[in-house]
Amino acid sequence: MALTRDEFVTEICDTVGKRVSASSISGASLETRVRNYLNWAQKRIARFYSFHELNVLTETPKTVSGIKRYPFSAGTSNFGLTRPKDISSIRLIDGAYSRKITRWSTRKFDTKYPYPAQYSGGRPSIYMRDGDNIEFFKIPDAAYTLYIRYPQWATDFSSGTQSSDLLNKDQLIITTGIFETYFALEEYSDAKIWYAKFLGQLRDAVRSTGDIDWEPQADPQGDEEYTSGEPWIDPYGGVSDPLYGYTE
């Protein structure tokens, strides 16, 4: 059974040896502060790895004709994503013309297409992330349905009976919360110990996550081509060979 927020708070306060009701100089109770540390703990875990339980597929977003830029969650023509951390993939679903849209970096996109509006519209084949927005090229010329896979941030704790979106990771959340608490209290020797414990448990959690479609890709041994000072002994016949393409 997953622990609730209040159970997390009690466990953390007991471990650091302070009462839940202990007050800081500002008058804030430790209980209130630890609630914040728990939210920070979840974000620290999610920054390191996108666990399966927080990966989402949404099939409802649609493009708008003539619009190239779409916010993740709020604003005009937004895609309505929930707590998005990043974008894993976008597919344009249009019958026989369905395609996976390729992600480009902003630098590559701006170098290749500095003014996308000068091109005619069409089915997008490229997208880039710009802040919490997605831009497409070509600029869509119709309402195309999109399938978007994306990792989420965990829901912040807001009630005492709430459990975490991170499944089977209560021990990791407690350990991370203890580290965050010790660090905030400036008890750095204890924080160091719990940070090392956090890293070990985090690695264990990542290792337990399988990806059955993954296959290793070996890099070639050495160079596949070379430039020879004696081109007639170049076994590869590379284009850098002065006799490349020569026939008698």
Q: Are 124 and 61 in contact (CB under 8 A)?
A: no
Binned at pLDDT 50, 70 and 90, residue 240 comes out as: low
Q: Report the pLDDT value the prediction gives residue 243, as an integer from 0 to 100.
A: 56
Place of tokens 């076994």: 235
How far is it, in rounded angstroms, from Cα 233 to Cα 58? 57
Mean pLDDT of 178-202: 94
Of the CA atoms within 13 Å of residue 90, those in its CB half-sphere come to 29
Q: Which residue did the predictor score with more confidence, 28 or 226?
A: 28
Residue 224 zone, left/alpha/beta (φ > 0; ψ -120 to 50; rest): alpha
Kindly report, residue by residue over 34-90, the tens digit of the pLDDT: 999 999 999 999 999 999 999 999 999 999 999 999 999 999 999 999 999 999 999
The average confidence (pLDDT) of the chain is 87
Kindly report, residue by residue over 182-193, the tens digit of the pLDDT: 998 889 999 999
Q: Report the pLDDT value the prediction gives residue 180, as an integer from 0 to 100.
A: 95
Closest to 127 measured CA to CA, from 77, 80, 92 = 92
Q: Where are the domains of the chain?
A: 5-51+166-207, 54-151
Q: Name the token pair of 85.
A: 């951390």
How far is it, in rounded angstroms, from Cα 88 to Cα 70? 16
Alpha-carbon torsion (63, 69, 75, 79), positive or negative: positive
Q: Report the pLDDT value the prediction gives residue 7, as an integer from 0 to 100.
A: 96
Q: Report the pLDDT value the prediction gives residue 86, as an integer from 0 to 100.
A: 96
Closest to 144 measured CA to CA, from 196, 184, 94 = 94
Q: Report the pLDDT value the prediction gives residue 19, as an integer from 0 to 100.
A: 74
